[in-house]
Amino acid sequence: MILENFKQFIWIFIFGVFACQNSSDKKLSNIFHYNQPNSITSLDPAFAKSQNNIWVVDHIYNQLVDLDEDLKIVPELAHSWEISDDGLKYIFHLRSDVYYHKDPCFGMDSLRLLKAEDVKYSLLRLTDPKLSAPGSWIFNDKLNPERPIEVINDSTLVFNLSRAFSPFLSLLTMQYCSILPEEAEKYYGSEIRIHPVGTGPFMMHKWLDRQGVFLKKNPNYFKSGLPLLNGVRISFIEDRNTAFLVFVKNGIDFFSGLQSSFAAQLLDEDGLLKESMEDQITMIKSDYLNTEYIGINLEALPSKHILHNKEFRRALNFGFDRAEMIKIFRNGLATPALAGFIPLVLKDTTFQNSYFSYQPDLAKDIIKKTRLY
């Protein structure tokens, strides 16, 4: 019995997050504070395999290309690119105004411009078996092993593919493909995981083990006028109930995910933010694919068990009010599975008319007709 196909990620913000609390608090104004239930394990982009690492890596680094709000590929460190007719060559032209974060790894100058050699180093680094990076799969069998990446000059490089692979540009938007300088790895060694040196809008200020991470604004960021924030603070409050209490007291500005223990305080039965909360917080939702169902292991049941009867199982399906269950048990934050195992977005919506809807009277009739009572 398929109960639901989609759930929703929840992002909750307190309004006025960037407002200064009082005149003596100006130094702390414009700091965005969010909670990350799972601690950050590494700020090395090659190990950005989970949300807790990905989010903060995205604050610190950039990739050659990025995705906009419509998931379209847009320029980032590369201002333009060309693809050969046979799909085997990708030629990238880099911006000339991108500086790395100020860092001791660059010696007395402390600042250095991004160069094409940095891109080659960063991406081939992923393929180094000694690193054992989770992101190494990105280029598996995709780059020409004899000359994978060629640097033409400081602002131009060429990727040579072993075969045409149309999603190649999309892969380059992943945090694994963030660009970092070779000097940083030579200077910090394995400690680069806690000493990131990137080109992104924020740079490392302080990491207090399991207490939190503090990032400050990159004054040399190449995107004019950005970032708008002075910094980002990330807390590691593991218990979501505790994080929620801190949130309602304005201790943090943002958290993701809801627990059933406090969801009813925020949401109505349709999964919408209660009107009484609309002037205090804002909520953003987005779907993610997750299917939940009740399965029956017939092999584990005695041969004469009622669940072996197909008509009885059919009656059970008609006896579940999936839409009502979503309201009661999921606070409206899921999509009832009215079209079988496959989500409605992947099939014609008229298909639901031929599936099991909530029909308790029909369920009773089936049981009576098959003399199951």
Taken in order of first residue, the domains within the chain and their CATH numbers are 2-7+290-369 (no CATH), 18-217 (3.90.76.10)
Q: Distance between CA 280 and CA 125 in Å, rounded?
A: 46
Quickly state the pLDDT bin for 279 (edges 50, 70, 90): confident
Q: Residue written as tokens 């007709």?
A: 369
Tell me the longest C-alpha to C-alpha distance in the chain: 88
Stretch (H or E) spanning 242: helix 240-248
Flag whether pLDDT at 69 surpasses 70.
Answer: yes
Flag whether pLDDT at 275 surpasses 90.
Answer: no
For the chain, the average pLDDT equals 86
Q: Which residues contact 266 (CB under 8 A, 6 or more apart)?
A: 12, 258, 273, 274, 277, 281, 283
- Looking at residue 162, what is its pLDDT? 96
For residues 237-261, average pLDDT: 84
Q: Among residues 235, 167, 178, which one has the least CA distance to residue 201? A: 178
Mean pLDDT is lowest, of 63-77, 83-97, 233-247, 272-286, for 272-286
Q: Among residues 7, 5, 14, which one has the least CA distance to residue 277? A: 14
- Looking at residue 19, what is its pLDDT? 33
Flag whether pLDDT at 354 surpasses 90.
Answer: no
Within 10 angstroms of residue 30's Cβ, the number of other Cβ atoms is 16
Quickly state the pLDDT bin for 199 (edges 50, 70, 90): very high
Crossing angle for the helix pair 360-369 and 310-318, to the nearest 10 degrees = 160
Flag whether pLDDT at 59 surpasses 80.
Answer: yes
Stretch (H or E) spanning 312: helix 310-318
- Looking at residue 82, what is its pLDDT? 97
Q: Residue 59 is encoded by which pair of tokens?
A: 């604050």
Quickly state the pLDDT bin for 134 (edges 50, 70, 90): very high
97, 194, 220, 237, 276 from 113: Cα distances, Å:
7, 22, 11, 37, 51
- Looking at residue 232, what is its pLDDT? 94
Quickly state the pLDDT bin for 25 (edges 50, 70, 90): very low
Q: What are phi and psi of 185, to 5 degrees?
A: -70, -35
For residues 83-91, average pLDDT: 97
Q: Which residues contact 63 (CB under 8 A, 6 or more apart)?
A: 76, 77, 172, 173, 174, 175, 177, 178, 179
Q: Residue 372 is encoded by which pair of tokens?
A: 């199951």
Q: Distance between CA 348 and CA 365 in Å, rounded?
A: 29
Mean pLDDT is lowest, of 180-189, 201-210, 218-227, for 201-210
Q: Which residues contact 97 (CB under 8 A, 6 or more apart)?
A: 222
Flag whether pLDDT at 154 surpasses 50.
Answer: yes
- Looking at residue 23, what is its pLDDT? 37
Quickly state the pLDDT bin for 338 (edges 50, 70, 90): confident
- Looking at residue 70, what is its pLDDT? 87
Question: Does residue 24 or residue 240 have the better pLDDT?
Answer: 240
Q: What are phi and psi of 14, to 5 degrees?
A: -90, 135
Q: Distance between CA 166 and CA 12 in Å, rounded?
A: 36
Rg (CA), the chain: 26
Within 10 angstroms of residue 311's Cβ, the number of other Cβ atoms is 13
Give the best-scoring range by mean pLDDT among 307-311, 337-341, 366-370. 307-311
pTM greater than the 0.85 cutoff: no
Flag whether pLDDT at 73 surpasses 90.
Answer: yes
